[in-house]
Amino acid sequence: MSRELVNGVTVLGNLAIDVINGAPRTPGGCASFAGVALQAAGGRGRIVAMGAEQDHTLFAPLRERFGDMVTILPADRTSGFRLDYEDVDHRRMSVDAIGPVWGRAEVEAADPDTTWVHLAPLLRTDFPAETLALLSERGHRVAYDGQGLVRADRLGPLVEDSHFPADLLTHLDILKLAEDEAVVVADGEFDAAVAARLGVPEIVVTYGSEGCDIHVDGTVSRVPAAWRVLDVQTTGAGDMFTACYVANRAAGAEPTRAAELASELVARELEKRLHVGSPDPV
Query: Is residue 282 one of the residues assigned to a domain?
Result: no
What pLDDT, on the 0 to 100 scale, is given for residue 2?
54
H or E element that contains 270: helix 255-276
Query: Is residue 72 one of the residues assigned to a domain?
Result: yes
Query: Is residue 281 one of the residues assigned to a domain?
Result: no
Q: Which of 190, 113, 114, 100 is nearest to 150 (CA)?
A: 190
What pLDDT, on the 0 to 100 scale, is given for residue 25?
93
- Residue 50 backbone phi and psi in degrees, to 5: -125, 145
User: For the chain, how many structural domains are there in total?
Assistant: 1
Q: How confident is the model at residue 279 (pLDDT cuts 50, 70, 90)?
A: low
Q: Which of 264, 227, 214, 226 is nearest to 40 (CA)?
A: 264
DSSP structural state of residue 215: E
Percent of the chain with pLDDT over 90: 79
Query: Is residue 261 one of the residues assigned to a domain?
Result: yes
Query: Is residue 270 one of the residues assigned to a domain?
Result: yes
Q: What is the mean predicted confidence (pLDDT) over 27-31?
A: 90
Threshold 0.75, pTM exceeds: yes
Q: Which of 218, 219, 172 is nearest to 149 (CA)?
A: 172
CB atoms within 10 A of CB 164: 18
Q: What is the mean predicted confidence (pLDDT) over 177-199?
A: 96
> 42-91: per-residue pLDDT in tens?
888 999 999 999 999 999 999 999 999 999 999 999 999 999 887 656 78
Query: Is residue 33 one of the residues assigned to a domain?
Result: yes
Range of the domain at 178: 6-276
CATH of the domain at 184: 3.40.1190.20
Query: Is residue 90 one of the residues assigned to a domain?
Result: yes
Query: Is residue 1 one of the residues assigned to a domain?
Result: no
